[in-house]
């Protein structure tokens, strides 16, 4: 009874804190602008099934894909055992489903144990790849500090989960022979039936009972720890990969969204119809985005979905030739900026209210926020200028993240709103604006058509 009470209290506290953290992530994602979701719903669900759930794009690099697959499937299957742990914890019982499922129960636990061993091997290999082999995409400058530690912490957590499972199952197998009345028969288990007696055989029953409970508590406490850790970790992709693939754009990767105001201007230039007069006192529209609040919420969702695997950066031709651009860093910077704004909104500090919106009784909100900073404080102009818009990063991402869309929004803001940009680009823009061609010419672009007439 005492254990059930403790378990329920711990579970409620863990879920309560976890809920608050996930709601903050949701708030940060919704800092972005509203966007209309268009396209075939069936195609969106197909993306979820094949890309998020089926890990289809992971297999472009089959070795890490197989290793990741072991951990991924083990994670899914251990949720079955987790259900039983919750039932046992709430009602104070032990292996509630074992007597009812019989051989099916044995088969499920065996499958989980085999997957757990494969996940254990995969975790050790992933740790070695990051820390010993130093795979190039894991040692880029943006991975220093917290990103590197974060990647290792989740792998250490995986090892703790597996330690809890095998300590619980191994000691339980030995207890089944010593006290079959209280410890339900699980049948012969693929790993624990030999590992348990080898490690714990000959120990006192009281010691075995302590070990079994220690393994049980270790497993569930690590799960609760993950629940509260994920909102601060790149491993939030475990959950967000599914909505991200659902809401991803369905059009061709090479298709870049047009700006209605610009399209209207271009069409007017290319037709004989007179251009519409625009009142000079009208406020000029703001093109592109210079902060997360100017991006749409799907861009920020993608930033939180990014698992920092670095496939985008490793495929980027600009990065390969030594330029500063790293598509992975772009996504990390967007997430960091969203986090910064979220924390400042939580503070309620009136100094972050825009000067023209301050007043008595005005409360800090997304709509009046202004801290004098922008994404350009995170992402340099040099980075966005290096992009060749080749879409290699978009093609490489296993969960349909699009760093190029964010780069294009930043470029549009710089060029169209700030009237700035690299000096070598400006003559081209002037030539297009004045002559309709990318190169400056001494004659009108359509002069050759008049000769034909």
pTM: 0.90
pLDDT at 3: 86
Residue 278 pLDDT > 60: no
pLDDT at position 2: 87
Q: What is the CATH number of domain 288-422?
A: 1.10.1060
Question: pLDDT for 209-253, tens place per residue?
Answer: 999 999 999 999 999 999 999 999 999 999 999 999 999 999 888
Supply the pLDDT for residue 440: 78
In whole numbers, what is the pLDDT of the chain averaged over residues?
A: 91
Check pLDDT > 90 for residue 275: no
Predicted confidence band of residue 310 (pLDDT cuts 50, 70, 90): very high
What tokens does 179 get? Answer: 């006290």
What percentage of residues in the chain have a pLDDT greater than 70? Answer: 96
State residue 86's pLDDT score: 93
Task: Please determine, for residue 382, whether its predicted confidence score (pLDDT) is greater than 80.
Answer: yes
Phi, psi of 363 (to 5 degrees): -105, 140
Residue 159 has pLDDT above 80, yes or no: yes
Q: Is the pLDDT of residue 331 over 70?
A: yes
pLDDT of residue 271: 65
- The pLDDT-based confidence of 273 (bands split at 50, 70, 90) is low
pLDDT band at 148 (very low <50, low <70, confident <90, very high): very high
Band of the pLDDT at 272, cuts 50, 70, 90? low
Q: Average the pLDDT over each of 209-213, 337-341, 445-449 and give the range with the smallest value.
A: 445-449
179-183, 307-311, 383-387: which has the minimum mean pLDDT?
A: 179-183
Average pLDDT over every residue of 428-434 = 80
Q: What is the mean pLDDT of residues 111-130?
A: 95
By percentage, how much of the chain surpasses pLDDT 90?
75
For residues 3-32, give the mean pLDDT: 96
């Amino acid at each position: 009874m005492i254990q059930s009470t403790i378990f329920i209290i711990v579970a409620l506290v863990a879920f309560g804190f976890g809920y608050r953290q996930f709601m903050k992530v949701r708030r940060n994602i919704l800092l972005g602008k509203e966007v209309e979701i268009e396209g075939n719903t069936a195609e969106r669900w197909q993306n979820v099934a094949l890309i998020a759930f089926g890990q289809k794009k992971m297999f472009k690099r089959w070795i890490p894909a197989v290793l990741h697959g072991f951990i991924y499937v083990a994670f899914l299957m251990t949720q079955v055992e987790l259900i039983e742990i919750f039932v046992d914890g709430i009602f104070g019982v032990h292996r509630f489903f074992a007597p009812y499922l019989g051989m099916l129960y044995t088969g499920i636990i065996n499958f989980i144990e085999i997957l757990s061993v494969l996940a254990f091997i995969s975790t050790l290999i992933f740790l070695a790849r990051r820390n010993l082999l130093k795979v190039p995409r894991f040692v880029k400058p943006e991975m220093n500090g917290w990103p590197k530690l974060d990647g290792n912490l989740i792998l250490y957590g995986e090892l703790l989960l597996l330690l809890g499972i095998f300590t619980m199952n191994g000691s339980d197998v030995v207890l089944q022979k010593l006290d079959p009345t209280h410890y339900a028969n699980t049948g012969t288990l693929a790993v624990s039936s030999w590992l348990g007696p080898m490690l714990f055989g000959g120990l006192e029953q009281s010691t075995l009972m302590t070990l079994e409970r220690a393994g049980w508590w270790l497993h569930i406490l690590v799960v609760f720890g993950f629940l509260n850790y994920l909102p601060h970790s790149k491993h939030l992709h475990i959950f967000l990969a599914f909505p991200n693939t659902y809401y991803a754009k369905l059009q061709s990767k090479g298709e870049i969204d047009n700006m209605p105001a610009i399209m209207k201007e271009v069409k007017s230039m290319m037709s004989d119809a007179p251009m519409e007069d625009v009142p000079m006192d009208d406020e000029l529209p703001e093109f592109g985005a210079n902060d997360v609040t100017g991006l749409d919420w799907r861009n920020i969702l993608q930033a939180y979905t990014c698992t920092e695997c670095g496939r985008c950066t490793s495929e980027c031709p600009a990065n390969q030739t030594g330029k500063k651009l790293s598509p992975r860093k772009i996504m990390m910077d967007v997430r960091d900026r969203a986090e910064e704004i979220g924390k400042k909104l939580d503070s309620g500090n009136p100094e972050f209210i825009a000067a023209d919106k301050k007043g008595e009784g005005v409360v800090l909100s997304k709509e009046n926020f202004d801290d004098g900073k922008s994404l350009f404080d995170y992402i340099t102009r040099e980075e966005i200028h290096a992009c060749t818009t080749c879409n290699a990063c978009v093609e490489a991402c296993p969960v349909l993240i699009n760093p190029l869309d964010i780069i294009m929004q930043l470029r549009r803001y710089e060029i169209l709103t700030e009237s700035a940009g690299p000096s070598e680009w400006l003559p081209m823009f002037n030539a297009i604006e004045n002559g309709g061609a990318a190169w400056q010419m001494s004659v009108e672009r359509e002069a050759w058509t008049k000769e034909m007439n």
